[in-house]
Amino acid sequence: MNMPDGSAAVSDGGPPMAVLAFDHRERAFASVRSTGMTREEIGRSKELIFEAFVAAVDSGLAGTRPGVLIDEEFGAPIARRAAALGFPVSMPVERAFEPVFTFEYGGDYRRHLLEFRPACAKALVHHRTTDPLEARQTQLTRLRELSEFLAEQSIGFMLELIVGQSDGGTGQIPTVDVEELCGSMAEMQNAGVLVDQWKVEGISSPDEAAQVAAQAVVANPRATCVVLGAGAPNDVVGHWLDVAAATPGFSGFAIGRSIWGGAVASWLDGRLARHQAIEQIASTYRSCALRYMGARVS
């Protein structure tokens, strides 16, 4: 196996990031299967996804920089193994399904981060400039606290900012509400929240992608954007990858359920053997990397 450089916390002008995201906690992870999952099944599934990740790296990822986004609750051993192998590891700090950003481990989040010292800490936040003022101010205060701590510790900050998508009622490929996204980014920047990587919902227009990339660097000239998958089908994710890859200021992708959801459910239901599920996830992940690089150079 070629050993990657796992020390880079954020994009440094090197190869684009190809992040396989499986940091989803119990409710979100189990939702990819119609009958749900036990905690034991979730743990086994995450092990399977990591094996697929390693298999994809071994087969080549088209010059991208592979990494994982994994949670501590179900994936602590995976995080340690990935780091030992030299892969950049990102880990979430948010408590899942809270309407206002809340630390997973409360005031103890610092100790948890320092135990693992991931390349990036990831915070998923639902935030719109039209949300109630008190909720926004609470989120901004907590995010600024987090960003200041991460900067002190030289840990990168990946902010997954969710404002919502729409196809405008046209049935075409959905795109993020770009004006709202940029407005929310600006609100956070003005509040002193320093972000290294903005993990954003898919954008279908190159001009709008450029608008988002320009907003990202307003407070941090080294900041970049990575595109997420939102569990969307392959054709939609492929278009988002094409747009992101062709836009300066985007530095790769961080995609999860769109890559592994179907294979994990089929394996647990007995429709795929374990090695087949691994091969399917590895192939889909590798296809995302190939597509990103192909769009980037075309």
Show Cβ contacts of residue 88 under 8 Å, excluding neighbours closer than 6 positions.
Answer: 4, 5, 6, 7, 8, 9, 17, 19, 65, 67, 68, 119, 120
Show the tokens assigned to 228: 């997420």
pLDDT of residue 2: 46
Structural domain boundaries in the chain: 17-297
Going by the DSSP 8-state scheme, the letter that residue 15 receives in this structure is: S
pLDDT of residue 3: 44
Cβ pair 224, 251 in contact under 8 A? yes
Question: pLDDT (tens digit, 9 = 90+) per residue, 206-227?
Answer: 999 999 999 999 999 999 999 9
The neighbouring-strand residues paired with 69 are 21, 90
Show Cβ contacts of residue 289 under 8 Å, excluding neighbours closer than 6 positions.
Answer: 18, 56, 61, 62, 64, 66
Question: pLDDT (tens digit, 9 = 90+) per residue, 102-140?
Answer: 999 999 999 999 999 999 999 999 999 999 999 999 999
Q: Which amino acid is at 183?
A: G
Coil, helix or strand at residue 85: coil
**If residue 76 lies in a helix (H) or strand (E), which one and from where to where?**
helix 72-84
CA dihedral 91, 93, 99, 100 (to 10 degrees): -140
Task: Give 276's pLDDT tier (boundaries 50, 70, 90).
Answer: very high
What is the rounded average pLDDT of the residues 265-285?
98
Q: What is the rounded CA–CA span in Å between residue 169 and residue 174? A: 9
**If residue 226 lies in a helix (H) or strand (E), which one and from where to where?**
strand 224-227
Question: pLDDT (tens digit, 9 = 90+) per residue, 44-61?
Answer: 999 999 999 999 999 999
Backbone phi and psi for residue 31, each to the nearest 5 degrees, phi listed first: -70, -15
Q: What is the rounded CA–CA span in Å between residue 33 and residue 53? A: 21
Backbone phi and psi for residue 252, each to the nearest 5 degrees, phi listed first: 130, -155
CATH class of 17-297: alpha beta
Neighbours of 148 (CB within 10 A): 14
Q: Where are the beta strands (DSSP E) in 175-296?
A: 175-176, 197-200, 224-227, 250-255
pLDDT of residue 174: 86
Task: Give 14's pLDDT tier (boundaries 50, 70, 90).
Answer: confident
What is the rounded average pLDDT of the residues 3-26?
76
Cβ pair 122, 196 in contact under 8 A? no
